[in-house]
Structure 1
């Protein structure tokens, strides 16, 4: 399964939703992610960071 690319700017999912997906993906930090899981994790972190920036700008 190919990782889903992050949403386009302005249409990002809320950071809390992305964070929940990250937590679901990596339930136990003692267990290494597969190569596919690691790629998905990296995309989610980028999406989460973008969502956080967007939420901060909206709050300002």
Structure 2
């Protein structure tokens, strides 16, 4: 079953999730389940905020 962010209403801001992703990568968590879950959540946030031009920023 694919990993999806919680559907409890509002989505956290992409910038907040991006900071968590960066911290996790710096801590060596690249490729972990948490990292993958954050990427899915980040993508949902980007879509909801309409930030298509900033999609490469978290990469």
Under TM normalisation by the shorter chain, which class is it? 0.5 to 0.7
Computing the radius of gyration over CA atoms, which structure comes out larger, 1 or 2? 1
Stretches of structure 1 lacking an aligned partner (at least 5 in a row):
none
Runs of 4+ in 1 over 6 A off after TM superposition: none
Q: How many residues align?
A: 48
Query: Could you state the TM-score of these two structures normalised by the residue count of structure 1?
Result: 0.64
Q: Which has the higher contact order (CA 8 A, sep 6+)?
A: 1
Query: Could you state the TM-score of these two structures normalised by the residue count of structure 2?
Result: 0.65
